[in-house]
Amino acid sequence: MLKYFPVFKSVYETLNFSRAAQQRFVSQSTISQQIKQLETELGVKLFIRKGKREIKPTPVADELYTTGLKIWEQTRNLEHKISKMDSDEIDCRIGVSNTIAETTIATIFRDLHLPKNINLTLKMSNSTDIVEGLNQRKFDFGFIEKPITTTGIERFAFFKDYLVHAGNFADSTWLERESGSGVRHFTDEYLRLNNITPQQVFTIESNEMILKFLQQGIGQTITSKTVLNDEIPYHELGPNFKRDFYFLSQPTYQVDALNELKRQLHEILKQIRDEQKSSEK
């Protein structure tokens, strides 16, 4: 069945044998033949013709697409992983929290000499999800902005970030990051300390989107000073709203290339930390 699934997928998604043939770079007769072979193999009818060009999937086709797509994608992923096992290529997955992604991550990787056999994937997520991902080995490394500690994960503070109260202070709307994010942790603390109950709250999972609202004069928020531009008014919040950015890693890795990557990242992050300390003296 899986042999014919890519063709079935194209027909199901386009509902047109001709367009499916164009997608697959084969003739329309080849598409029709393979669909017939799949129907024979399964002993069911998958499509009903409605006129010369229009076709309609049967309920069996609906179920085959919904369930079969998951199986097909899992099979492809498994084949990809198996093929990688016979090569020197290494997949490295790094979770990056929102503010770090927008402010410092590119600087960190600018001076990194990445081994050629490492395939790097960076995913932006909130701090809590990144820590959970490291515990579940979904991430190899993490960059977070919330003081979370967890057994078996090393944490290194490399940058001081200053939070501010920004936006239209006459607007009763508060723009908040989602639960689990580093900024949300400090937002809740600010509201509690100042006995503020917002009349209206917009929960937004992106610093960039919050910035767009602020630029339009909508709402107020707690955010990193580093993400603001000159157009947006803000108030300093003092030392209680100074936070660290953290680098998370496993104590050691089974793959030498990841241990070398960890060593390089530590060196770069130490330099960033020392440069900031020197500039603030």
pLDDT tens digits for range 142-153: 999 988 888 899
Task: Give the C-alpha separation, 274 to 88, whole Å.
Answer: 35
Task: Give the C-alpha separation, 260 to 102, whole Å.
Answer: 25
What is the torsional sign of CA 20, 24, 27, 31?
Answer: negative
- Interval 58-106: pLDDT, tens: 999 999 999 988 898 888 777 766 665 555 778 899 999 999 998 899 9
User: CB-based contacts of 126: which residues, under 8 Å, 6+ apart?
Assistant: 97, 98, 177, 178, 180, 181, 182, 184, 205
| pTM (2 d.p.) | 0.65
pLDDT tens, position by position, for the chain (281 residues)? 788 899 999 999 889 888 888 888 888 899 999 999 999 999 999 999 876 667 999 999 999 999 988 898 888 777 766 665 555 778 899 999 999 998 899 999 988 888 778 889 999 998 999 999 999 989 999 999 988 888 899 999 999 999 999 999 999 999 999 988 889 989 999 999 999 999 999 999 889 999 999 999 999 999 999 889 888 999 999 888 999 999 999 999 988 889 999 999 999 999 999 999 888 76
Tell how many helices (H) and how many strands (E) occur in the chain: 10, 11
